[in-house]
Amino acid sequence: MAVTEKDRKANSALGSLQALTAAALILPGLVPAQAAEDNEFSFQYGRYEESRRDLGGVKSQFDPITVDSLHTSARVRLTDRIKFAFNYIQDTWSGATPISTAPSTREGNQPYDVGTVAGASPWLYSGNGNGKVYFDDQRRPVRTIRRDNGLGFGFDELIAAGLDNRNVHTMSIASPEVRKEGNFNLTYEWDDATVSAGGGLSLENDYESRFANLGFTIDFNQKTTTLSGGLSYANSSTSARLDHDAQTYISKNAYNGQLPEFQPRYAKVISNPIPGTDDSEEILRGKREDWAVNMGLTQVVTKSSLAKFGASYTRSTGYMGNPYKAVTAFFLRPVTAGLMSRDCDTQGTVAGPGLGAADCGEGIAYEGQAKAFLEQRPEVRNQWSFNTGWVQYIDPLDAALHFDYRFYHDDWGINAHTFEADWVQPLGSGWSMTPRVRYYSQSEADFYVPFLVADVSNENGADRLGSDNSKLPTQTFSSDHRLSGYGALSGGVTVSKQFTKGVRFDAGFEYYTHQGSLKIGGGGEPDYADFDYWVANGSVSVEFSAIGRSLTDHDHHHHHDMTEHEPLMPAGLMCVGGHMLNQEGDFMVGYVYQYLRETGNMLNRTSKASDAAMVNNGYRTIPTFHDMHMHMIDLMYAPTDWFNIMVMPMFMDMDMDLRVLDGINGDVTTDHLHGGHQTGGIGDTLMFGMFKLFKHRGHHINLGLGISAPTGDVGIKLNRQHQEDAGFIHYQMQLGSGTWDFLPSLTYLGQYDRFSWGAQANATVRMQNRNDSGYRLGNMFQASAWGGYSIFNWLSGSVRGVYTVEGSIQGEFNPVPGAAGCTDPITNGAILCSNVNPTSSTLDDPRNYGGRFWDVGFGLNVVVPGGEFSGNHLSVEWLQPVHEDVNGFQLERKGTLFATWSYMF
């Protein structure tokens, strides 16, 4: 439709008005790039928890998967035209997940300990039924019972008792692992268009991904139409250490070069000897590339509705398998039927009067021997998706309904539909509530099988790894339930509160149920694969150019001595209380990052410890490094000008590795050397009340009374390895103290002209004798003194001396009974060990904690004195150890970095 001359005149007459209103009414969020505020800092914590799987009556001691996620995001407008965004994301997960599936009679989850039923261990080959499942003449698994064959006791026969339609997952557990991702995006804006470029990196122990993207948006039709597009590329590599306990039960012949005709192009398994042992570890290495293009169109339809359309195409090539999942294949052998054939070899739990070999009775045609194969997926995947959505304003309720539909298709045979509806309901006073429902349904991949049935062979059994892939009915197979047919229904609610000062809190919860029966059109996977999860999140966003107030803003705070501002403190003191807000009603939101690194020599008191000395003290392993990262959120409020409250939740993660000491005897396979350990999650939560005791002409004295709540986990255990339980992971790798702690501090701050100085004494007093795991950390006392000089009005430097004394750990981990190779001294039979906690490392000895430490800190403080970023404060401090006198044997400390950002309003 051409624009008429009349229209054009009208448009030009409206030109000036449009120029004014267009700027004011640029649609927020019309395209995602415009949704975010220009200068914003956000922090989110999320928690994911899965339900227990139904293992057909066997109770697993393993906890299901849980994931703790941290996401920090910063967006800054660098110039009128250029915006920069940065995200840091960290996930820590642990828990049990299915590694394979088989008919229930395979009994893939067995109570593994002796005496009490404490758990279930994955069995891929053997198990109580010797890994055997019987099949009928149509090669369907059957349940079996033993009965007397009429010849008297001991002469039994095995007969079919109906089809075994019930599959069961075999579960396996992973120790905590951490993923870290950083990504950035730069956007250049014109009046009616934007271009953007971004990239990032995602790192895990077993998976690394690098990615880059380009994008554009163009506004048409007086900004009622927005066209967007993008191109993205990711290059990923897998380097997965295969589960030691499972590796000798899973055939990797297609991956390790033994079967050249089946060798995948982009993945291989290599075997590395473990130093100091006869053992080896197997690593799966894979490569993968993804290219994606997408186009989108957003259209204003009426004054109160929007429509959107999008399409995307992704091409993935390379290794797309999950290195921890195996497919169970049954190798069939025809059984000899009839009296006295004795061909049905059953033991263990099969009900019946006798044990051992039985005759093969009615309904049994084949004996199937279970074997497991590392899953093999196609190495190319083409994926298309189309989406459309509608946003409708509901006038009487001032609400908005968002509806989205997406269709997905790929050449693995999966078609998926997603329907989602959100109702955004403002409630007044900045509150809003968003209930949401989502339905998803997918068909199964062409190569999805719960388990495989291989062709008939008379030699189905003897060697568990002997049967090669050429005997399998297919060369692409996976029993990952994510590729099965199912539906998923989820619902949740998000509550938001927007404060006028540019601060927003969001809290969300969602419950999700995955069920085969929810698949569109039916025919989904049976209910053995069903599971539920919930995910909850809480976030705070600060639009930091809104109405910030500078810490050095003299106009506001220098009317008289009562509102005199405090001098700045070094970054390392931000998390122990001591600094206070300047006046009643002030708020502060801050972020404190702390990084502590230990590596280098082992110390005994003040001198270097030799391997021989540590071996003589009974130790077998020592840490080679230990890294700790802490992310703290600092929320502070001043109800009166002499009293402040402060709350600091924290999130932490730790990484370490061990080495074997020179000169130890014996096998080191039980010393837990598996490429290091990682832990992470919520740490303890600090709460302070701060009192201004004295304030006069540049001198301040503040008293802080704090409590540390034991929100950090102190019950983290190592996973079961080498068929032995392991007990608690090192004290140092636990995420908190486990006790309620008292944190008093006394701070003096002084200032004259460009100089500032101060001193602080603070302590941590454990208020309980033992935590739930049986120990308590040592008490701590710290004294600091510092001096600072203001180089410019926005920049100052500081030097600090710190002395810290910390006690050793009292008590020890509660004993953990478990299976770890203990035998009865009389019968020589296997018995439960009374305590399987590790003792071989210096980190496992409570005496090797605490000491006396002298450090020097070098710090910088940047304060934005005015303008758009007024109220922002950045500080960094490096704490350099100068002298250490450690208790027992400990790894040398290399230093601590503190970086803080705070925003006062």
Partner 1 sequence: MIVRSMNSSIKHKPWPLLMLGLSLLQGCAAVQPWERGVLAKPQMALERTPLQSELRGHSYGSREAAGAGSSASGGGCGCY
835 part of the interface to partner 1, by CB under 8 A: no
Q: By CB under 8 A, how many residues form the interface with partner 1?
A: 121
Rounded to a whole number of angstroms, the minimum distance from the CB of residue 482 to partner 1 is: 6
* Spatial separation of the C-alpha atoms in residues 657 and 622, rounded to whole Å: 9
List 107, 156, 510, 598, residue binding partner 1 (CB under 8 A): 510
Rounded to a whole number of angstroms, the minimum distance from the CB of residue 321 to partner 1 is: 9
Here's the x/- map for partner 1, 314-353, by CB under 8 A: it reads as: x-x-----xxx-----------------------------
Rounded to a whole number of angstroms, the minimum distance from the CB of residue 408 to partner 1 is: 4
414 part of the interface to partner 1, by CB under 8 A: yes
* Spatial separation of the C-alpha atoms in residues 830 and 823, rounded to whole Å: 4
Rounded to a whole number of angstroms, the minimum distance from the CB of residue 10 to partner 1 is: 10
Choose between 235 and 810: whose C-beta lies nearer to partner 1. 235
Instruction: Tally Cβ neighbours within 10 Å of residue 315.
Output: 14
List 372, 483, 891, 904, residue binding partner 1 (CB under 8 A): 483
* Spatial separation of the C-alpha atoms in residues 499 and 645, rounded to whole Å: 19
Rounded to a whole number of angstroms, the minimum distance from the CB of residue 81 to partner 1 is: 22
The alpha carbon of 251 is separated from its chain's Cα centroid by a whole number of angstroms, namely: 29
Q: In the beta sheet, which residues pair with residue 73?
A: 42, 87
- Alpha helices by DSSP H, listed for 665-754, are none
List 95, 264, 680, 818, residue binding partner 1 (CB under 8 A): 95
List 55, 65, 358, 833, residue binding partner 1 (CB under 8 A): 65
267 part of the interface to partner 1, by CB under 8 A: no
Q: Which residues contact 1 (CB under 8 A, 6 or more apart)?
A: none
Rounded to a whole number of angstroms, the minimum distance from the CB of residue 306 to partner 1 is: 7
Judged by CB under 8 A, the chain residues 359 through 388 that form the site for partner 1 are: 383-385
Choose between 98 and 704: whose C-beta lies nearer to partner 1. 98
List 126, 225, 258, 277, residue binding partner 1 (CB under 8 A): 225
Judged by CB under 8 A, the chain residues 441 through 460 that form the site for partner 1 are: 442, 445
List 243, 506, 566, 844, residue binding partner 1 (CB under 8 A): 506
Choose between 263 and 299: whose C-beta lies nearer to partner 1. 299
Question: By C-alpha distance, which of 408, 420, 196, 217 is closest to 314?
Answer: 408
Q: How far apart are the first and last CA of the chain?
A: 52
Q: Which residues contact 665 (CB under 8 A, 6 or more apart)?
A: none
Choose between 392 and 669: whose C-beta lies nearer to partner 1. 392
Within a 13 Å sphere around the CA of 352, how many CA atoms are in the beta-carbon half? 27
List 17, 351, 462, 826, residue binding partner 1 (CB under 8 A): 17
418 part of the interface to partner 1, by CB under 8 A: yes
**DSSP assigned state of 26:** P
Beta strand 755-766 with 167-189: parallel, antiparallel or unpaired?
A: unpaired
* Spatial separation of the C-alpha atoms in residues 629 and 601, rounded to whole Å: 21
Choose between 426 and 466: whose C-beta lies nearer to partner 1. 426
Judged by CB under 8 A, the chain residues 279 through 298 that form the site for partner 1 are: 290-292, 294, 298
Q: Which residues contact 476 (CB under 8 A, 6 or more apart)?
A: 376, 377, 378, 446, 447
Chain length of the chain: 905
List 156, 204, 219, 586, residue binding partner 1 (CB under 8 A): 204
Rounded to a whole number of angstroms, the minimum distance from the CB of residue 253 to partner 1 is: 22
Answer yes or no: are the C-beta atoms of 655 and 596 closer than 8 Å.
no
* Spatial separation of the C-alpha atoms in residues 898 and 379, rounded to whole Å: 45
Q: In the beta sheet, which residues pair with residue 711?
A: none
Judged by CB under 8 A, the chain residues 689 through 708 that form the site for partner 1 are: none
List 210, 285, 699, 722, residue binding partner 1 (CB under 8 A): 210
408 part of the interface to partner 1, by CB under 8 A: yes
Rounded to a whole number of angstroms, the minimum distance from the CB of residue 193 to partner 1 is: 14
List 69, 644, 756, 896, residue binding partner 1 (CB under 8 A): 69
Judged by CB under 8 A, the chain residues 522 through 561 that form the site for partner 1 are: 533, 535, 537, 539
Instruction: Tally Cβ neighbours within 10 Å of residue 483.
Output: 23
41 part of the interface to partner 1, by CB under 8 A: no
Determine whether 25 is exposed, middle or buried from the number of CB atoms within 10 Å of its CB (0-12, 13-18, 19+): exposed
416: left (phi over 0), alpha (psi -120 to 50) or beta: beta
List 112, 211, 255, 878, residue binding partner 1 (CB under 8 A): 211
Judged by CB under 8 A, the chain residues 300 through 319 that form the site for partner 1 are: 300-304, 306, 308, 310, 312, 314, 316
The answer to whether the Cα torsion of 560, 563, 566, 567 is positive or negative is negative
Q: In the beta sheet, which residues pair with residue 677?
A: 656
**DSSP assigned state of 315:** E
Residue reference for tokens 């430097």: 797
39 part of the interface to partner 1, by CB under 8 A: no
Judged by CB under 8 A, the chain residues 125 through 184 that form the site for partner 1 are: 174, 179, 181, 183
